Amino acid sequence: MAKIKASRNKTIDTPLNEGEVWLNRCLRLNGWPQSLDAVLDKIILGDFFATAPLLQPACADLIVVDPPYNLTKSFNGTVFSKKNKADYEAYTRRWLSLLQGLLKDTGSIYVCCDWQSSLFIGNVLADFFQVRNRITWQREKGRGAQANWKNSQEDIWFATKSNAYIFNLDAVKMRRRVLAPYRAAGQPKDWQPTAGGNYRDTCPSNFWDDITVPFWSMPENTAHPTQKPEKLLAKIILASSNPGDVVLDPFLGSASTSVAAKKLGRHYIGIEVEPQYCLWAEQRLAQAEANPTIQGYADGVFWERNSLAERQRLAISRSERPCAFACFG
């Protein structure tokens, strides 16, 4: 039976024995190749290595991968054991080789990793795709250590299949408060004055310091041990896909990728081997139908961390047009 939680605790942690109705929404493949329509906007309960050959080639416009980092970790009782360098590289090559065939020629792929697995993944990724950048995002808390610096950042590798790829720069602008507003000939230089303060819409960099890791009072939070924030996935999806495109996540976890894709008008295909996480994924997708908002993204721009109260003071509505702000790097 689910634990009784405080009223503000929004964590999704429904146990398997109470969530059969959600689990039954998941798709279980029968070993036969599937049409795109059969798997579109579905959570597939199964192992990626067994599922990939059943999918249509070049079915995805965007692939987001959050593979097991090379750490010994339990995922609801299923343990991923740390591997030596050669074995982890071979494991990475195996799933990358399958994903290469599933990505369209105009598609992009993003791969999440910590600093240790990043050393392997970046090199292997270049053997299959054209590496474009390495994004580093800052965790609010991080993992402490007794005899080392606290690990409070993670990497995301960005790569494409060809030189013809999508990148929607204007869709991922960051609205920041201007602390030293400079004027030229008496007019604001690269910023916009408002009643609540001065702001500038900046072009996105490869360092993201505005991400909040989900916690107990956030509706998107689940009991998954390595859940990624919807805001992080929204940046990737908005930048590297268009409405109606297909976003594939082969290690779906609690479905942040699929939920963000749904909220942003994209199709999704999610693959997850653990039934418990599939259950939570379906619950989150149902919630997304009633509440399509993404924390930290409003009015067509991304906002700095912990800025909700500030936005409320500004009384910014979703109908306000963000094009009143220019985009400056």
From the CA atom positions of the chain, what is the Rg in Å?
20
Each residue's pLDDT tens digit, 141-179: 766 678 988 888 999 999 999 999 999 999 999 988 887
Q: Which domains are assigned to the chain? A: 16-167+207-298 (3.40.50.150)
pLDDT at residue 223 is higher than 70: yes
Q: Are 105 and 118 in contact (CB under 8 A)?
A: no
Q: Which two tokens stand for residue 256?
A: 């942040």
Residue 222 main-chain phi, psi, to 5 deg? -130, 180
Each residue's pLDDT tens digit, 288-319: 999 999 999 998 999 998 877 777 666 544 34
Mean pLDDT of 97-123: 96
Q: Which two tokens stand for residue 180?
A: 């030293």
Model pLDDT, residue 140: 75
pLDDT at residue 328 is higher than 50: no
Alpha-carbon span 156 to 138, nearest angstrom:
11
DSSP state of 231: H
pLDDT at residue 258 is higher than 80: yes
Model pLDDT, residue 306: 80
Model pLDDT, residue 3: 64
DSSP code per residue over 64-131:
EE-PPPSS-EEETTEEEPP--HHHHHHHHHHHHHHHHHHEEEEEEEEEEE-HHHHHHHHHHHTTTSEE
